[in-house]
Amino acid sequence: MHKINWQDLQYILVVARQGSVSAAARSLGVNHSTVLRRINALEERQGLRLFDRLRTGYVLSQEGQHLLQAAQSIEDTVTGLERRITGAELQLEGTIRVTTTDSVLLTICGSHIAKFQKTYPNITIELTVTSSILSLSKRDADVAIRPSRFEPERLTGERICDFHFALYAGPDFWTANCDTPLPQQPWLAPDESMAGSPAGRWMRDKIPEAKIVMAADSFLALGDAARRNLGVAILPCAQGDAMPDLVRIGEPLKDYKTGLWVLTHRDLLGAVRISTFYNFMIDALKAEESRMKGER
């Protein structure tokens, strides 16, 4: 059996997690053919079949499962070492990788991130805007600013405040449809990827038979559809209240809220640039509490 290098194992990890070569290629930022070539070459060198090629995707073989366990252990060791090295850095320069959602970025924290960068021009902010939960333990991001009901395990964080939601529609739409009961309204709904959000839970509990005319994985997309008079949407109050071409329908939804968190890995707080950004954003976002609660 030939030696295996860490880069080989990274390809195994990503293909196993993504379930297909094309998805792994997108995640790694390489060509589809590169992933195929690396996997095929590794199997040939080791004399093992690591993946079963099925019509539905790549599935680890028994030998591949054994190798995956070893790869995950090595990955944990490598990323832990990277965090400790990063945590020992003392300069206010370098890169901070930040992840947040599109609505939180554009309606709450974008201006504060811009102010931070102007205050510390030697720091580069790399933003990943996604509703997916990135792994801070694996260094997919250094700091996460996102709604969550609970503090994720193995992370350190600050719960800024409650994060409320309400119903919104375009003024013309609501004038024409305000007498229609809510279950009969056309709805702009979060898709399955956001089923656990307060908006998804409210719709499931209150109007399970809703007429959904559009579903999206983005509250910005739902807000845009609402202002175009396509129906009623459940939006974060900080977003909906800031849109002049929307009207709020009633008060924030009672018992359907979450929290806004600023999160990092405890190993990274020793890096001055990360701890400075972390504390800066906590202070800045606490000043936005009334907006996030939908107070007028």
Q: What is the DSSP letter of 137?
A: T
The predicted pLDDT at position 123 comes to 94
Q: Please, what's the largest Cα pairwise distance for the chain?
A: 74
Q: Residue-wise over 57-93: b if at least 16 C-beta within 10 A, else e?
A: ebebeeebeebbeebeeebeeebeeebeebbeeeeee
The Cα–Cα gap between 144 and 136 comes to 8
The Cα–Cα gap between 203 and 206 comes to 5
The predicted pLDDT at position 194 comes to 85
Kindly state the tokens that stand for 264: 């990092």
Give all strands (DSSP E) within the chain, no chain letters.
51-54, 57-60, 94-100, 123-129, 143-148, 156-169, 186-190, 211-216, 232-236, 247-249, 257-264
Handedness of CA 104, 106, 108, 113 (dihedral sign): positive
How many CB atoms are located within 10 Å of the residue 180 CB? 12
Residue with tokens 């999160």: 263
The Cα–Cα gap between 273 and 92 comes to 5
- Residuewise pLDDT in 10s, the chain (296 residues): 556 677 777 787 888 888 788 888 887 778 878 888 888 887 888 777 878 887 767 888 887 787 777 777 777 776 666 656 555 455 678 899 999 999 999 999 999 999 999 999 999 999 998 876 655 545 578 999 988 877 666 778 899 999 999 999 999 999 999 999 999 999 999 988 888 889 999 999 998 888 999 999 999 999 999 999 999 999 999 999 999 999 999 999 989 999 999 999 887 888 888 989 999 999 999 999 999 999 97
How many CB atoms are located within 10 Å of the residue 14 CB? 18
The Cα–Cα gap between 246 and 241 comes to 8
The predicted pLDDT at position 35 comes to 81
Hey, is 264 helix, strand or coil? Answer: strand
The domains of the chain, with CATH numbers, are 6-87 (1.10.10.10), 91-296 (3.40.190.290)
Which secondary-structure segment (H or E) carries 74? helix 62-87
